[in-house]
C-alpha cells in the first residue's frame, strides 16, 4: 500500500503531461505557423491568440443554411485561382512568339502541369457560378436592403472584376479560339459613344489584337486585378462581420 501511494503522484503527473500533449486548437494554430518562435513573442505583446480565439468562437445565427456559404465558397475558389495561377506563371511566357508553346509545354511536359491548368480553368468557371448564385440568393432574400446596400454595390463590383478576370485570362493561351474571341469581345467597346475608339486602342494596344494585347491582358490579369479583388474582398468581409448575416425572410 505504501508503494502504491508512493507511485500514485507519479502516475497522475504522467497523465497530466500526456493531456498536455494533446493538440488543442490553440496549439495547432501555433504549430502551423512557420514563425512559431516569433509568433510566441508577438502573442505576448499583441495578444494574437486571443483575437483568433474570439473569431473562432463567434456564434452563428440559427437561421444560417448551406446557401449562406456560397460567398465563402467563391472566396475559396479565388484562393485556388491565386495558387494555381502562381504555379502557371512559373512556366508561362507572355509573348506573341512563346505564349502558345509555353502553354503546351505546361500541359505535356511539366509534372502535373495539365492538372494545374485544368484546376485553374475550372476554378474560374466555378467561382463565377458561385458568385452569381450568391448574388441571386442575396437578391431573392432581400439581403441587399438597408443597412447592407453599400455591401451589395461592392458585391456587384466583385462580380464585374471576376468577369474581367475571366475575359483577360481567356486570351493568355494564345490559340485561335482565344484570339478570335478576344477580337470580337474587344470590338464591342468600339460602340461606346465618344470614347469607344480610344478605349479599343487602349485595350488592344493598337488597332488589331496582337502581342501588345497579350502583354496588356497578362499585366491586367496578374498584376492589377488581383490587388483590386483583394481590396474589395477585404471591404466586403469587414462589412459582413460588422453588420452580421441578414435575418430570414
Q: For 36-71, what is each residue's pLDDT tens digit?
A: 555 667 777 777 777 777 777 777 777 788 888 999
* Residue extent(s) of CATH 1.20.810.10 domains in the chain: 66-243
Q: What is the pLDDT of residues 119-129, one digit of tens each?
A: 999 999 999 99
Pull the grid cell for residue 166: 475571366
Return the pLDDT at 8: 47
Query: Cell numbers 504555379 label which residue?
Result: 87
Buried b (16+ CB within 10 A) or exposed e, 96-118: eeebbebbeebeeebeebeebbe
Burial profile 216-242: b = 16 or more Cβ within 10 angstroms, e = fewer: bbbebbbeebbeebeebbeebeebbee
With beta carbons less than 8 A apart as the criterion, state whether 61 and 245 touch. yes
Over residues 105-118, the mean pLDDT reads 96
Mean pLDDT of 14-42: 56
Per-residue pLDDT tens over the stretch 174-222: 999 999 999 999 999 988 898 999 999 999 999 899 999 999 999 999 9
Q: What is the CA radius of gyration of the chain?
A: 26
In order of 142, 151, 153, 154, the CA distances from 239 in angstroms are 17, 7, 12, 10
Domain 66-243: give its CATH code.
Answer: 1.20.810.10
The better pLDDT of the pair 159, 241 is held by 159
Between the CA of residue 91 and those of 104, 119, 124, 131, 239, what are the distances in Å? 10, 16, 20, 30, 38
The whole-number average pLDDT for the span 136-165 is 94
pLDDT computed for residue 66 by the predictor:
85
pLDDT for the residue numbered 18: 46
Amino acid at each position: 500500500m505504501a508503494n502504491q501511494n508512493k507511485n500514485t503522484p507519479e502516475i497522475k503527473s504522467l497523465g497530466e503531461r500526456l493531456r498536455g500533449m494533446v493538440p488543442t486548437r490553440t496549439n495547432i494554430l501555433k504549430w502551423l505557423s512557420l514563425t512559431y518562435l516569433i509568433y510566441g513573442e508577438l502573442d505576448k505583446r499583441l495578444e494574437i491568440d486571443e483575437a483568433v480565439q474570439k473569431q473562432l468562437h463567434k456564434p452563428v445565427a440559427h437561421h444560417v443554411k448551406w446557401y449562406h456559404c456560397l460567398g465563402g465558397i467563391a472566396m475559396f475558389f479565388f484562393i485556388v485561382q491565386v495558387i494555381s495561377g502562381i504555379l502557371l506563371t512559373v512556366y508561362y511566357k507572355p509573348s506573341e512568339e512563346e505564349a502558345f508553346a509555353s502553354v503546351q509545354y505546361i500541359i505535356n511536359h511539366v509534372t502535373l502541369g495539365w492538372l494545374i491548368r485544368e484546376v485553374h480553368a475550372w476554378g474560374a468557371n466555378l467561382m463565377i457560378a458561385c458568385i452569381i448564385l450568391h448574388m441571386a440568393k442575396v437578391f431573392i432574400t432581400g439581403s441587399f436592403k438597408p443597412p447592407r446596400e453599400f455591401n451589395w454595390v461592392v458585391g456587384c463590383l466583385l462580380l464585374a472584376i471576376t468577369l474581367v478576370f475571366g475575359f483577360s485570362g481567356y486570351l493568355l493561351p494564345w490559340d485561335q479560339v482565344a484570339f478570335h474571341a478576344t477580337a470580337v469581345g474587344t470590338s464591342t467597346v468600339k460602340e461606346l459613344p465618344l470614347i469607344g475608339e480610344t478605349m479599343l486602342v487602349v485595350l488592344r494596344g493598337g488597332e488589331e489584337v496582337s502581342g501588345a494585347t497579350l502583354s496588356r491582358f497578362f499585366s491586367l490579369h496578374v498584376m492589377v486585378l488581383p490587388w483590386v479583388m483583394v481590396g474589395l474582398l477585404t471591404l466586403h468581409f469587414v462589412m459582413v462581420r460588422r453588420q452580421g448575416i441578414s435575418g430570414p425572410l
